[in-house]
Amino acid sequence: MKNSWSVGCGLSEGRDRTWSAARRLLWGGIVLVFLAGATGEVTPSTSSTPVPAQADPTQADPVQRDPLLKAVEAELLSAPNQQKLSAGEAAMAAQLSEKISAAEWLGPLAPVALSPFFGLTCLSGLALYGQDLIPGTNHLLQNSVLRQPAVFWSLLVLTILTSLPKFTKVSKPFAQVMDQVEAYAGIVILLVIRFFGQPEVGVEPTVVQMGMFSVSVDVLFAIAAWINILVIHGVKFFFEFLIWMTPFPMLDALFEIMNKAVCAGLMTLYAYSPVAATAANLALFAVCLILFRWCHRQTVFYRTMLLDPLCVRLWPSYGQVGAGGLAVFPQTACGPIPARAPCQLVRTDSGWELQMRTWLGQLRSCQITRLDELLIRRGFLFNTVSFAGDEQIELCFSHRFNRQWTQVEELLG
């Protein structure tokens, strides 16, 4: 069997079929959401005729112009001489307007990351039924996609279908598979709202100069949304996974209720103050970014130990020992390799070498000499191989190769 650097059991063909079935179910619902939004009648808020390049900015459609920009212009034009805005004043007003617009888009990322379908359902509900309760004008909530009743009810159905399985430990594994697909679906829906739900006003998108390259604000938002949602969702998924492994059934339901409550609270904060919601999102993102790498390693470790035996039963070829090495996890840091990182233990002329590939493809290694005493033990959740020398090194590996124990001993011996 060809050796691979991936350590989990997500690369087998049978599991791909499971993922494919889950993807088809969720993406089918998402397609219905967008079809419903596309077929609904939307009253355009502006004319599709391009605005002349030299048009007076004070004569633009008031629905599309930022309230802060209008207030600044009104204050400046209320002077006795009714003078027009100078270039500097117009630039300042435009800059303030862009900051408010960024807050409107970055504010809902945290609740969408915690519960994608539920967060988007709350966002659509605010756009449909909460306009009278929201102070000021929020351009995102005037989006043509969010203001479709069919979109709201479709997202609500998807929320129920993906949330109910999380209340019991029996259905929780399936719900966690769906949860990973839901995170990417939330990103896609947000980008569709960003790129396709805005009215066409004939104005070129804002471009940010980054050295030799120029990038539009929409592209920067797409990148920020992708990173923000995946980081927060990844940390949340790890703690949800830990709770699933506990022997207390009510903890799963309690965690899901608390997650939905926090999501609703953040969305309520966003409705009243997008700037405050953006600050909360950035604070949560900073904390999750610090924990993300550690949480990711722990998630891969426990997922491998729990699912590898099941994968071997379903696909016996997955349990064959490859000549290239043994998939292991160090219990403690070994040189440049952190604890619980997915690694490969390979034979060398001088002993063994522990190898790890980073996300960028960089190779990290730790040498283990033959002078070290080797001890292999079987365990309940995982097996261990220990090297007792100048420094104690203990590596864990799953029950994936238990049926090939002789080959494991030959590889390590």
pLDDT tens-place string over residues 331-351: 988 888 999 999 988 888 878
pLDDT tens-place string over residues 183-231: 888 888 888 887 775 555 444 556 666 667 677 777 888 888 899 999 9
Q: What is the pLDDT of residue 2?
A: 37
For residues 169 and 252, the answer to whether their CB atoms sit within 8 Å is: yes
Structure tokens at 283: 């604070």
Structure tokens at 270: 């966003």
- Position with higher pLDDT, 407 vs 109: 109
Q: What is the pLDDT of residue 54?
A: 44
Q: What is the pLDDT of residue 20?
A: 53
pLDDT for residue 79 is more than 80? no
CATH architecture of 324-412: Roll (2.30)
Q: For all residues of the chain together, what is the average pLDDT?
A: 75
pLDDT tens-place string over residues 231-288: 999 999 999 988 988 888 889 999 999 999 999 999 999 988 888 999 999 999 999 9
Q: Return left, alpha or beta for 335; rule: phi > 0 is left, psi -120 to 50 is alpha, else beta.
A: left
Domain(s) of CATH 2.30.29: residues in the chain: 324-412
Q: What is the pLDDT of residue 301?
A: 92
Q: What is the pLDDT of residue 367?
A: 86
Task: Please tell me the pTM assigned to this model.
Answer: 0.69
Mean pLDDT of 112-139: 85
Q: What is the pLDDT of residue 269?
A: 92
Based on DSSP, count helices (H) and strands (E) in the chain, helices before strands.
11, 9
* Torsion angle in degrees (nearest 10) through CA of 287, 291, 293, 294: 180
For residues 365 and 349, the answer to whether their CB atoms sit within 8 Å is: no
Percentage of the chain exceeding pLDDT 70: 69
